[in-house]
Chains A and B, each alone.
Chain A
Amino acid sequence: MDNEDKENKKDGIISRRYFLESIGVGAIGVAVAGSIALTGEYLSPNVLKEPPTKFKAGLPENYSPGSTTLNKEQKVYIMRAKEGYFYALSAVCTHLGCITNWKSEEGIIACPCHGSKFNTEGKKIAGPAPRPLQRFLMTLDEHGQLVVDKSIIVGEEVILKASINKG
């Protein structure tokens, strides 16, 4: 191999064989790299048939003050505080992604998988969860309906003060 290399590059001149071999190996290399890149792209789906991140949660008057309502499909709690304001808590446990349950008799949110417990503010009371439950942005649309956007995570200071106008 060493001798061949020396012959190939004698006096800085590249032999015909070395030149053609390089083109061939290079072309195969490009084809392999391209097919690896394309296969990688293929494995990552472009369209996801998952539920949209933004959803309507109905009119504010459907929720009584001091209530916790789980939207099972969206995995979100619509929380209404005793004072009347709204906030949306993720029902996905921050530990390993199980869906938590609302325990109305104890007034806490509990995860069935590994025993994490949260209060109605989403703060951890017990268990392995590393963070409080996420809060999503909640707004009112032009028809006065509650809208939750799961793509926007907000801090606990963000609340929705909904005034109920009947009639």
Chain B
Amino acid sequence: MKKFFEKIFQSKVWRSIFRHGLPVSNRTRAEAVFYNFFLHVHPTKVRKRSLKFTYTWGLGGLSVGLFIVLVFTGALLMLYYRPSVAQAYWDMKDLQFVVSSGQFLRNMHRWAAHAMVAIVFLHMMRVFYTGSYRPPKEFNWVIGVMLLVITVLLSYTGYLLPWDQLSYWGISVGTNMVRSVPFGIGDKISFLLLGGNSVGENALVRFYVLHCFIIPVAAMVLMGIHFWRIRKDGGV
């Protein structure tokens, strides 16, 4: 059995994917991290204090974990949901009562979304109380604030999609609040968000595209920078 695995690890295919050898020496152990796309952002050294669970409470990791859950459940929900006034509500009801595991996936998406808002907020509080926004991490705090705003925006744009009374009036009230930005800027932003003067077909499609594509892509780019920076600064 050992020989079999050794043969695989020495094979041309394996070595073309993992160019370093097995992590048997300090050098190959380091190479295993440096040459791996997913691990290469790790810092060269980590302070023992920051590894303590009660220092970070793993809140950043939980946030990205929830984001991954949301991406996968969201992609599956997209297979049955059509963003049109005539179909949106009934597609949502079909997901609840007709589609196998539809209710489960929808609830998973919903609860993960609620949890993500809470966890991201707690993560911000933890960073504040441990003073982790101090130099050299000031700019990473700024990116974190952007990610908090993005999390709330994702939550808000998803709110319209079930197209029930709650979502309709939620978005009506929200876009009316935007209108109070002075000098006609608020009116313009509200018009562009809704694609019109009231919550209708255009607004539903716009919120759908924002929710499923534009904001998640922005979130992923900012998360990439956020993680890279924290690791280069010696964080976990």
Contact A48 B197 (CB under 8 A): yes
Contact B173 A113 (CB under 8 A): yes
A-B contact count (CB 8 A): 28
Contact B192 A97 (CB under 8 A): no
Contact B192 A49 (CB under 8 A): no
Q: Which of A48, A49, A50, A97 has most B Cβ within 10 Å?
A: A97
Residues from chain B with Cβ under 8 Å of A38 in the complex? none
| A52 on interface, CB distance cutoff 8 Å | no
Other-chain contact of A49, B172, B175, B177, B201 (Cβ < 8 Å)? B201
| A96 on interface, CB distance cutoff 8 Å | yes
Bound Cα distance from A50 to B197, whole angstroms: 8
Contact B172 A97 (CB under 8 A): yes
Contact B172 A96 (CB under 8 A): yes
Given A50-B198, A50-B200, A96-B176, the answer on whether A113 and B192 have CB atoms closer than 8 Å is no
Contact A98 B196 (CB under 8 A): no
- Total interface residues on A, CB under 8 Å, equals 10
**Majority-rule SS of A interface residues:** loop
| B158 on interface, CB distance cutoff 8 Å | no
From 211 to 225 in chain B, residues with beta carbon under 8 angstroms from any chain A beta carbon are: none
Measured CB to CB, the closest approach of chain A to B44, in angstroms, equals 33
Chain A: CB-nearest residue to B172: A97
Q: Which 3 A-B pairs have the closest CB atoms?
A: A97-B176, A96-B173, A96-B176
Residues from chain B with Cβ under 8 Å of A97 in the complex? 172-173, 175-176
What are 9 pairs between A and B in contact, CB < 8 Å? A44-B192, A45-B196, A45-B202, A48-B202, A96-B172, A96-B177, A97-B172, A97-B173, A97-B176
